[in-house]
Amino acid sequence: MNTSTARVGLVVPSSNVTVETELPALLGQGFSFHSSRMRMATVSPAQLAAMNAQRERCVLELGDARPDVILYACLVALMAAGPGEHQRVEGLIAEQLATGGSESKVRSSAGALVEALHAIPARRVALVTPYLRPLAEKVVTYLEAEGFEIVDWRALEVEDNHAVGCIPGEQVMAAARSLDLSNADALVLSACVQMPSLPLIDDAEREFGVPVISAATAGAYSILKALDLPLTIAGAGSLLRRGQLVKEL
């Protein structure tokens, strides 16, 4: 790792803005962030597939910056492709980087969410997603294939990706309040790096009494773990409160 600053490469949809604000807010000083963008405006199967086809160009561009870790920052793009896709894509990115002589660590938002849920540990999970219902169902199926039981979930039915980045916190919390959390081990408040939720995490944990994570907090956890750095961030929920989660809620 770079001695003074850890370089984080982000592969993001072109219309995404939230992940590039929430991750720096989470990780703070000591990190620099470098993005390469894949064209995508509408969260639909066709546009997600076309976006994924741009991956190799983005990785090639980021490799020139010699990042310490690269995060493929679009959760639904991988989960929509079917179970296990995050492992396949992370492997392909690592292979591409190694061919160019890079030793960058590789993570994805999809894999980070799975990693964070195992770290809690959670088996029964509730979700809030911004997606249209058919895509939200693919996220549910993906997580079930990873061994989780999805006890309840909500799809906010927002297809325009710019609009996803503008979903108000009140709407996210209203969706969470409509969930049956009586048997949940954890709540994923935002299963999307574009849907803002970071200011809500701590308040949601206090209100709902279960561990609350988001695609952003899971991504931060995965980046820190990949770089062998302390897994502790204030104000980001119990996943990152003490480096490892001991249920106390």
Answer for the pair 143, 75: CB distance below 8 angstroms, yes or no: no
Judge whether 128 is annotated as a binding position.
no
Answer for the pair 26, 220: CB distance below 8 angstroms, yes or no: yes
| Distance from C-alpha of 204 to C-alpha of 154, rounded to nearest angstrom | 16
| Distance from C-alpha of 63 to C-alpha of 103, rounded to nearest angstrom | 9
Judge whether 221 is annotated as a binding position.
no
Judge whether 158 is annotated as a binding position.
no
Give residue 40's Cα distance to chain centre: 17
Which of 192, 213, 236, 239 is labelled catalytic? 192
Judge whether 156 is annotated as a binding position.
no
The type of residue at 162 is H
Q: Residue 226: helix, strand or coil by DSSP?
A: helix
Catalytic residue flag (residue 74): yes
Tokens coding 186: 């954890």
Tokens coding 247: 């249920």
Judge whether 16 is annotated as a binding position.
yes
| Distance from C-alpha of 213 to C-alpha of 205, rounded to nearest angstrom | 9
The full length of the chain comes to: 249
Which of 11, 69, 71, 74 is labelled catalytic? 74
Judge whether 161 is annotated as a binding position.
yes
Judge whether 131 is annotated as a binding position.
yes
Judge whether 139 is annotated as a binding position.
no
Residue 9's closest CA among 78, 88, 105? 105
Annotated binding site: 16, 74-76, 131, 161, 193-194
Annotated binding site for substrate: 16, 74-76, 131, 161, 193-194
Active site residues per annotation: 74, 192
